[in-house]
């Protein structure tokens, strides 16, 4: 998939972030920085990822981090740059889901703010800190052909909830629509300077996010079986493949896109 550089992944301790870290290692990345709130799970993922690389110099670092904390984000992103010398790919997978009982009319401000703080502010803080670094670095050479390659590539996790409404999910849907807005507008700012910025929009996925909360798990069963044309939930690796494609040289003419990976959920 032409990802020879260094990747920084948030939400790397679980679900789609974890699978993405594994695929970077398998597909020849020089190193990965794994970031997440959950320090213990990060170490477990580190031990899963390391043996997947064929690269004897493969580097791997972990950082416990709350992406909604701007100062922490700036510190950690610059420490990753110090460790690797550059940051070629950023994947913003950290996120939380929340169902407001009774719908938006009864949503509590603290819940609304929390979802926006992690999903939207967190994505912005990481993207901003990394983009400044990427803009200063020399472009990476393609490993597949002579095509002009990028200074950096950022993939943000939106959702089908960034393209459609979903009941009881006011804050979550607002945050994911906004992630697409962030992605599109920042992609235009730097499209001529070698930065590509895209989003992925997963449909209903079989991950700890959807399995651990009983309300969300019920919605997953229903939406996967009855609303998804393929009749099933997606597996985390199926989205990780799209992230690797959007990160690397094979997507060299794609920027500002919101790629759906949803088993057909949004085709109607
Ligand atoms: N699971 C789905 O059906 C689905 C569908 C569409 C989009 N998404 C989005 O995909 C992304 C990954 O979801 P997943 O299903 O793999 O979830 P997951 O819960 O398995 O993993 C999310 C990770 O983010 C971390 N995280 C949460 N808050 C954080 C914070 N403040 N700072 C740092 N890390 C934090 C968690 O610790 C966890 O390891 C999320 O942005 C989610 O909104 C999920």
Is residue 267 domain-resident? no
CA distance 198 to 110: 29
Distance 32 CA to ligand 1 centre (A): 18
Distance 180 CA to ligand 1 centre (A): 16
**In the annotation, is 23 catalytic?**
no
Rounded to an integer, the average pLDDT of 47-74 is 98
Q: Is residue 268's pLDDT more than 90? A: no
Decide if 234 contacts 263 (C-beta within 8 A): yes
Q: Is residue 1's pLDDT more than 80? A: no
Which residue's alpha carbon is at the smallest distance from atom 14 of ligand 1? Answer: 15
Determine the atom of ligand 1 nearest the C-alpha atom of 210: 1
| pLDDT confidence of residue 142 | 79
Sequence length of the chain is 268
Q: What is the pLDDT of residues 173-190, one digit of tens each?
A: 999 999 999 999 999 999
Instruction: Kindly state if the Cβ of 11 falls inside 6 Å of ligand 1.
Output: yes
Is residue 144 domain-resident? yes
Is residue 1 domain-resident? no
| pLDDT confidence of residue 204 | 96
Q: What is the pLDDT of residues 113-168, one digit of tens each?
A: 999 999 999 999 999 999 999 999 999 877 877 777 689 999 999 999 999 999 99
| pLDDT confidence of residue 110 | 98
How far does CA 10 lie from the centroid of its chain? 7
Q: What is the pLDDT of residues 10-41, one digit of tens each?
A: 999 999 999 999 999 999 999 999 999 999 99
CA distance 29 to 18: 15
Question: End-to-end distance of the chain based on CA atoms, in angstroms?
Answer: 30
| pLDDT confidence of residue 141 | 79
Is residue 216 domain-resident? no
Decide if 1 contacts 240 (C-beta within 8 A): no
Instruction: Kindly state if the Cβ of 246 falls inside 6 Å of ligand 1.
Output: no
| pLDDT confidence of residue 143 | 81
Looking at the structure of the chain, the number of domains it has is 1
Helices (H) then strands (E): counts for the chain? 9, 7
Q: What is the pLDDT of residues 195-238, one digit of tens each?
A: 999 999 999 999 999 999 888 899 899 999 999 999 999 999 99
The CATH number covering residue 186 comes to 3.40.50.720
Phi, psi of 17 (to 5 degrees): -65, -45
**In the annotation, is 172 catalytic?**
yes
Place of tokens 């609304």: 112
Query: What Å distances lie between residue 193 and 17, 95, 109, CA to CA?
Result: 27, 29, 39
Is residue 108 domain-resident? yes
Is residue 145 domain-resident? yes
Range of the domain at 169: 6-203+236-261
Is residue 229 domain-resident? no
Which of 176, 190, 204, 265 is catalytic? The answer is 176
Instruction: Kindly state if the Cβ of 261 falls inside 6 Å of ligand 1.
Output: no
Place of tokens 């700012």: 189
CA distance 55 to 52: 9
Decide if 180 contacts 198 (C-beta within 8 A): no
Place of tokens 């997963």: 202
| pLDDT confidence of residue 229 | 98
Instruction: Kindly state if the Cβ of 171 falls inside 6 Å of ligand 1.
Output: no
* % of the chain residues with pLDDT over 90: 93
Instruction: Kindly state if the Cβ of 20 falls inside 6 Å of ligand 1.
Output: no
Is residue 106 domain-resident? yes
Give the contacts of 209 (CB within 8 A, at least 6 positions apart): 14, 15, 95, 96, 97, 216
- 188: buried, middle or exposed (CB in 10 Å: 19+, 13-18, 0-12)? exposed
CA distance 185 to 197: 9
């Amino acid at each position: 998939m032409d990802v020879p550089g260094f990747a920084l992944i948030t939400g790397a301790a679980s679900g789609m972030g974890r699978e993405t870290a594994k695929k970077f290692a398998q597909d020849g990345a020089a190193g990965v920085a794994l970031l997440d709130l959950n320090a213990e799970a990060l170490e477990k993922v580190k031990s899963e990822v390391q043996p997947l690389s064929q690269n004897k110099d493969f580097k791997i670092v972990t950082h416990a981090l709350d992406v909604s904390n701007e100062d922490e984000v700036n510190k950690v992103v610059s420490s990753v740059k110090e460790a690797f010398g550059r940051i070629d790919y950023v994947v913003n997978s950290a996120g939380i889901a929340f169902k407001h009982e009774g719908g938006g009319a009864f949503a509590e401000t603290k819940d609304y703010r929390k979802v926006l703080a992690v999903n939207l502010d967190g994505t912005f803080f990481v993207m901003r800190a990394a983009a400044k670094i990427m803009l200063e670095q020399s472009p990476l050479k393609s490993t597949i052909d002579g095509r002009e390659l990028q200074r950096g590539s950022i993939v943000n996790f939106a959702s089908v909830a960034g393209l459609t409404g979903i009941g009881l999910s006011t804050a979550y849907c607002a945050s994911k629509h906004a992630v697409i807005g962030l992605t599109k507008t920042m992609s235009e700012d730097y499209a001529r300077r070698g930065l590509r910025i895209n989003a992925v929009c997963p449909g209903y996925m079989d991950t700890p996010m959807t399995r651990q909360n009983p309300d969300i798990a019920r919605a997953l069963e229903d939406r996967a079986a009855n609303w998804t044309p393929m009749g099933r939930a997606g597996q985390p690796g199926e989205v990780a493949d799209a992230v690797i494609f959007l990160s690397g040289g094979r997507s060299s003419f794609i920027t500002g896109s919101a790629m759906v990976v949803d088993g057909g959920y949004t085709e109607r």
